Structures are given as C-alpha cells and as structure tokens.
Structure 1
Amino acid sequence: MKTLKKVWDLFEEISAGTFFFGGITLIFYGVFMRYVFNEPKAWVEEVVRYVIIWGVFLGFALALRHNQHIQVDMLYDKLSARMKKVLDIFATSVSIAFCVAYTYYGIVLVASRYHSGMVSLDVGIPMWIIYLILPISGTLFLLRFIERLVQLIRGKDVKYDNPIT
C-alpha cells in the first residue's frame, strides 16, 4: 500500500511539474522567436494556455496533500479539539460531494465536446482533450479528500506544518 501511495504522490508531482515546465519552456520559446528572430508564433500562446491550465488543475490535489489551499482559520483556531474534528469531517464530506459533482460534469462536458467535434482556433486541438483535465483533476482531488476523510476518522492529524521548505 505504501508503494502505491509513493507512486501516486510521484505521479502528481511529476505530472504537474512537467506541465508547468512545458508551459514555461514554451513561453520562453515564444518570447525568443518574437524578439530575437522577429517571427512570433501564434500557436504558442494557445498551447501555453492549455498546458499551464493542465499544470494548475493537476496541482490541486498536490496542494491538498500539503495542506496549501487558502483557508481562513480565525474562528477555527478558537474551537475545541472535538469541534475542530467535527468541522473537518463536515468540510471534507462537502468537498467530496463537490468533487463527485465536478468530476461527473467534467465527464459530461468532455463527452459533449467529443461529440460536437469542436477544435481550438489556432492549433486545431480537439477541445475534448483540453477539457479532459476536468474529470482527471476531479478524480485526483476526490481521492485526496477521501484519503483526508479516512485520516480524520482514524484520528490522525491532517494539518501539516509547512512541509514544503
């Protein structure tokens, strides 16, 4: 089980990092072509947009794993330990419901774009491929929230003290 978790963690890190690195590399290429060779490439902006979006959406689950999502905890810090646990379980359960809906409607959108035959303007990438990140990221995010709920129910602390250094 620990091996599967390590593979899963590594997949999230490598996939999000690869898309971000690819996006930054393409931005550099676009700037280089525009200002050094004076030959801007129109397709670069469109591809960069999609690649960065994929990187961000793949990073959602990674941020949850490290507890790096934005949260307001002024009132939360004043609660008792028991109430904190109840609130954590409630919030995680609502998040799981959101992820289920998000993933489902992502699948519906992908199917809709697949059947419509829509393609992007400059490059001609089928739009269903672009929208495929919705069910993929929703599933990864859902799995992280389920993992979090299991940890909460088992009584393990899911709050991390800034694990990224």
Structure 2
Amino acid sequence: MNTVKKVLDKILAVVCIALFSFLVLLVTWQVVTRFVFNSPSVFSEELAKYCFVWLSLFGSAFVFGENGHMAIDFVREKFPDKMRMGVEVFIELVVIAFAVLVLIMGGYNATSIAWNQMNATLHIPVGYLYAAIPLSGIFIVYYCINSIYLIVTKKKPLEEIDLSTTPKAKSDLQGGM
C-alpha cells in the first residue's frame, strides 16, 4: 500500500507542478496579449479557469495524502489516544462518504451530462474539463483508506505517523532544510 501511495504522490505532485506552471504561462500570455498587443487571447482566459480548477482539485487530493489539510483539532486533543484514533477513523469515514457521494458520484453525473457538450472557446468536450471532479474524489478516497489502514495497523493517532514519502519532505519535517 505504501508503494502505491508513493507512486500516486509523485504523479499528483508532477501533475500539480505542471498545471501550476502552465497556469502561470497562460496568465502571462493573457496579460501580454491584452496589454502589449492590445488584442487579448481568446482561449487563454478560459483555459486558465479550467487549469485552476484541475490544480485545486488535484492539489487538495495531494494534500489529503500528506495529511496537510486544515484541521481544528482542539477537541480531538482532549481525548486519550485510543479514543482519538476512533475519532480520526470516523472523520476519515465522513470524508470518504463526502468524496464518494459528491465528488465521485456527483462528478461522474456532471461529467456524463457534459460529455456531449462542446466548449465554445476551446472546442473540446466539457466532459474532459469536468473529469477532474470524480478523479480527485477517487484519489481522496484512496488516501482516506490509506490513513485508516495506517491508524489501525500502527495503533497510533494519524498525527504521530510519518506520512511523507520523499526524503526531502521527511528532512523538512524534522527541521532540516
């Protein structure tokens, strides 16, 4: 399970870096064409919107894998370790339910409906653009299942388990830059 997580982490990291880089280039191109050439690019603004959505969805899935999302853990800290582990498993199950119902099923339905619609600006099916929704849901569900597996097998709260997969990330967590 750890090998799959490492591969998925690397893929999502590369995809997010590529999307962010492409987004910067698109926005720069839009600014140059609008203010330098006085003729704004037709496609770059629309493509940047979808690129940002894909980046947000895949980035959020990646953050789930690193357990780096925001959490209000004031109440959770009041519980003893065994009960805290139960609360963490419950939270992961709630996230799985949300991801399955909203992201995977809802995203699949939206993608299916939009599959035959063409984007007027980009001339591609809108379904391709919506496909990031169920994909990110699948990644989030995998990461939640992985977290539950780690909590159960390590018999520790999630915050005490090292989830980082790269040596650089591990050294950063330990304070070494």
Q: Same fold (TM over 0.5)?
A: yes
- SS in structure 1 opposite 2:118? coil
User: Judging changes above 3 Å, is the alpha-carbon distance between structure 1 residues 142 and 2 closer, same or farther for their aligned structure 2 residues?
Assistant: closer
Amino acid at match of 1:123: L
Identity of aligned residues (%): 25
Aligned runs of 1:16-165 on 2, under 5 Å?
Answer: 16-101=16-101, 102-114=103-115, 117-154=116-153, 155-159=155-159, 165=172
Tell me if the contact between 2:84 and 2:157 (Cα under 8 Å) persists in the aligned partners: no
| CA distance in 2: counterparts of 1:157 and 1:11, whole angstroms | 27
1:18/1:55 contact within 8 Å kept: no
Answer with 144-153 or 4-13: which moved more: 4-13
Q: Output the aligned Cα RMSD.
A: 2.1
Deviation at 1:51, TM superposition (A): 0.7
Q: Which runs of 5+ in 1 are unaligned?
A: none
Question: 1:110–1:150: structure 2 CA closer, same or farther, 3 Å change rule?
Answer: same
- Where does structure 1 differ by over 6 angstroms across 4 or more consecutive aligned residues? 160-163
* Alignment CA distance shift 1:82-1:157 (3 Å): closer
- Which residue pairs with 2:175 in the alignment? none
Gaps of 5+ in 2: 173-177
Structure 2 counterpart of 1:78, which letter?
K
Q: How many residues align?
A: 163
CA distance in 1, matches of 2:95, 2:4: 23
